[in-house]
Each structure stands twice: as C-alpha cells, then as structure tokens.
Structure 1
C-alpha cells in the first residue's frame, strides 16, 4: 500500500532518539568540565527513515558545490521522503574522508527539515565533567528530568493537546502518586472535554500528544507557544 505524509509520520520522525544513539562533542573545556554538544550519526538518521516510512519511500542525493571562501569540502544534499524534498548543505571539515563527512552532514541537516533530531537544537546547555588529557567526558552527560520532553514540544511548534485539570491522582486513571493525570476527565455526561492550554489568558485547544508531552515536561498542559515562552524563561 502506498504511504502518504501524515501527522503520525511527522511525529514518528521527530521522536527523540535512544540515549545510546546520541554522542557528544566537547566544547570550551575549563576547570575539569566542558560544554557537551549532542549529535546523532547519519546511520541513526537512515535507520529512523527506514523504520518510519520504509527504505523504498525515501532517497538522498547530492552535488559537490564550491566551498565558501574556497576552503573545505561542501555538498548540497537533497532528501526526498514520500515525494517531499528538502535541501541543505553539508561541510566535510578536515577529516581523512572529507567528501564522506560532507555527505553525512548534509543528510543529517536535510533530515532536520523533516523533524529528525530537531529537538536536539532546543535542549538546554549541558556542562559535564571532562578529562582534557584523555579528551573524553568522565561520565555520560545527562539532561535534567523533563528537558527532552520540553525540547520535543518546543521544536514541534504546532498545537498541543492539553487538559485544564492538573489535579494529582494515583491509580489506573491518573499518573504516579503526586503527578498530574495525562488524560482529561470525563464530565458528568460521560463526554471528555477537549484539552486546552492552562496558561493564564490562553486557553487554546491542543492535541492529546501535545498534552501528554507538556504535562511530562512542564508539569501542566501548555500550547506550543506557551511552552516556548516558558522554556525561554527557564533557560
């Protein structure tokens, strides 16, 4: 059966990666710590595309282009997913295989246009213990609880499903004890109210997926715009 672009496919492509798929580049080492910049490999991008749309439903090609200021190796990549094409440039740097590096960089950058790994750009700055002699982090950098969920929600930028009630309830219908239920409550007539943003003066309708991500990441249902505002305020 021929597949077509859908909201479900978009959300699946934009889903966060497993921790073991994320690597970190150390930057600005000082006083035994370094800024950890997260990134994913081209192989993880290809595996995500294969898993979500199937290997027969996406393709990638590139052209070598003139580098800015005449330095390095640059390519223009074109990633086509379910008939939709996105373009971006990739840089090879000073590696032993600059063309291969540039192609991988272009693939990853094109994939970001489809949402793959986009949330990594919205994560808060992360400093971690770093061994400058061995050029490696002493331990795997870890973001605080809820940071990934907030980044995914902010990077999506669409409407978010949210319920007004954030009353804490344990048990089958609620979250763990002391956390808000993720599902809107049924009214006395048995109907479930549409989830809405709980920010003062907002009240926008949001989707169920947005509601769940927002409650886990922010502790209450917020629309995408209010999530971005709160994320910036707490950055």
Structure 2
C-alpha cells in the first residue's frame, strides 16, 4: 500500500482519470435517424487498468476480488482492500447481468467494473452525457444491430480534457458534453469551466469561422446541395448565387450571416432532438419559449426533425 497517504489523498488517487488507451467504448443502443443510423456509446475503464490502479495503491497482495452468483444469470463482485497496514479489510460489492457477448466472462468483467466504481475508480465517466457516433462504411469498430438492421463501422469518440490525466493529449481532444448534476458545484473545476465554455460559445466573426460554422450546421441538418442553395436564396433575394461553392467564395458577409442564422435554429433543434431522442419534447419547449415567433421556423423544424409541416403544426397546437 502507498505509505503516507491521507484518506483524502487516497480517494483522489482512486478517482483520478485514466489515459485514453485505458478507456473502452461500447454500444448502448442504435437509433435510425433521417441522416442514417447512429449508435449511442458509453465509456468504461478496462479491467486491466482497474487492476493496475489497485496494484499501485494497495500492492499486488493488498487487495482481492471475489464473485458470487446473483439472481438467475447475474454475478456479484466484491473488491476488498487492506487498510491500517493490513489489519483491516474493506469490501465493496456490486453486480451485473451476463452480457450478450461472452456472457460469463462479460458478466464477471462488468461486475468488477461496477464494484470498482464503489471505490471511485472510473466514477467520473458517469459525468459524460450520451455520446452519439455515426455508423458508416469504414471505421474502428464493427456493429450489426439485429433490432434496427443497421450494419457498419463506428469510431471511438475522444474524451474531453477534464476526463484525462494532465498532459495526456488534453489539447487535441473533442469537447464531449457533461451531464449536469444538481448539488455539485465545485468538485471538478476543469469540468465546470468546460461546461461554461460550451454554453457561452461565441458567434463566429471572421469569414473562415463563418464558413466552417455553416458547414457544421449543414452537416447536422444533412442538407444536400439543392436544399443549401434554396435556403440561401430564400434569405438572400437576388443574390446572384447559382451554385453551392459560390455561397462560400462569392457570398457577401451579410449574405453569409443571413444564411447562417437561417439554418442555425433548426440545427440546434436537431442536435437536441437527436441527443435526447425526444423530438416532441424539444418542440413543446420551443413552443412555450418562442410563442408566435416559432411559426416562422416551422419549415426548418420540419426538415430538422424529419416530420411533415402538418405534424409540426399539430405538435405545436397540442403544446399550446
């Protein structure tokens, strides 16, 4: 066991983030959207990393795990650690059902991970919201979902800086969202700062920033070239723009602003709807916040949520 550590220091060492290569991603469920199939994936610490963490803090002979049958196909795992120079053992239990893949081994593995969380190991990963990944023709991981019939590949997401050890490629990671938790205000300053920066994202100012932002919004909406050009010319009468490349190269700053703010509301709606899988909830919320102004967005909401204009109107009427 590590000598000279206080209880607080021990907890901090147990709860410390792991390097990205000690994290594995697993598919939670697959959803078919208007832009193709997507998978919701969750992050877990590998069992090897958990074992190494306990070895480091308690020594190879200062901790142990044991298993018991639980319900019909479940497994309970108890992890015990030594304290007070080996005079005291503390055990924490948790369990898991057998998994669909390698059911016995998977059940033991999942139970140990859950038990480790009782000591704080990997608990920080629960602060990540659901992460959506595209299912595509090529990627790192293969999936064949029987429920939706979706087949293809998906790539492991990147973790945000607060979920990595300091100096572990923190400057080159994507910014995944953090689940908000009531009653926890200052336990993780880095995570709090991350949440604030996402919430207060400044509007793009330079032309390059605007073009990149527009491309991001277009991708979220899944707009094809015909739709892009149609929306651009609807909000920029007599623009003289006749092709999509012309939008980005010959469109004026004012025209780009008009186009950007035209597609922004629908893209945000689609992000929220996809993240929460609750189209009606999002529309109900917007109807209460925007009131009459919402009606000017009905066409774009229809595109964003893959509902007809009639269906959107019905939802709005229902929520009013």
Report the TM-score range of the alignment, normalised by the length of the smaller protein.
0.5 to 0.7
- Give the TM-score, by structure 2 length: 0.43
Q: How does 1:45-56 map to 2 (within 5 A)?
A: 45-56=50-61
Structure 1 or 2: more helix by fraction: 2
Q: Which residue of 2 aligns with 1:141?
A: 157
User: What does the per-residue CA deviation read over 1:139-165, in whole Å, with 9 as the maximum and x for residues that have no partner?
Assistant: 33124555669969979x6x95xxxxx
CA 1:137–1:48 in 2, change beyond 3 Å: closer, same or farther? farther
CA 1:64–1:145 in 2, change beyond 3 Å: closer, same or farther? closer
Q: How does 1:9-28 map to 2 (within 5 A)?
A: 9-26=10-27, 27-28=29-30
User: What does the per-residue CA deviation read over 1:109-158, in whole Å, with 9 as the maximum and x for residues that have no partner?
Assistant: 11000001111111122112223784265433124555669969979x6x
Aligned residues of 1:75 and 1:90 also touching (Cα < 8 A): yes
Q: Which residue of 2 aligns with 1:61?
A: 66
Aligned residues of 1:15 and 1:152 also touching (Cα < 8 A): no
Q: Which residue of 1 aligns with 2:97?
A: 91
**Which whole-Å CA distance do the structure 1 matches of 2:71 and 2:193 have between them?**
49
Instruction: Give the superposition deviation at 1:217.
Output: 2.7
**Which whole-Å CA distance do the structure 2 matches of 1:144 and 1:87 have between them?**
30
**Which whole-Å CA distance do the structure 2 matches of 1:154 and 1:45 have between them?**
25
**Which whole-Å CA distance do the structure 2 matches of 1:217 and 1:6 have between them?**
23
CA 1:153–1:146 in 2, change beyond 3 Å: closer, same or farther? farther
1:129 aligns with 2:134: yes
Aligned residues of 2:2 and 2:57 also touching (Cα < 8 A): no
Aligned length: 166
Aligned residues of 1:119 and 1:151 also touching (Cα < 8 A): no
User: Higher relative contact order by CA 8 Å / sep ≥ 6: 1 or 2?
Assistant: 1
Instruction: Give the superposition deviation at 1:18.
Output: 0.9
- Give the TM-score, by structure 1 length: 0.57
Q: Which residue of 2 aligns with 1:78?
A: 78
1:39 aligns with 2:44: yes
Give SS of 2:61's match.
helix
**Which whole-Å CA distance do the structure 2 matches of 1:103 and 1:123 have between them?**
24
Aligned residues of 1:148 and 1:217 also touching (Cα < 8 A): no
1:106 aligns with 2:98: no
**Which whole-Å CA distance do the structure 1 matches of 2:2 and 2:43 have between them?**
35
**Which whole-Å CA distance do the structure 2 matches of 1:93 and 1:138 have between them?**
20
Give SS of 1:78's match.
strand
Give SS of 2:135's match.
strand
**Which whole-Å CA distance do the structure 1 matches of 2:181 and 2:54 have between them?**
22
- Structure 1: tracts of 5 or more residues without a match: 68-72, 161-209, 221-226
The alignment's C-alpha RMSD in Å is 3.8
Q: 1:217 aligns with which of 191, 205, 212?
A: 191
- Structure 2: tracts of 5 or more residues without a match: 83-88, 144-151, 166-176, 201-274, 276-320
Pick the structure with greater CA Rg: 2
Aligned residues of 1:92 and 1:101 also touching (Cα < 8 A): yes
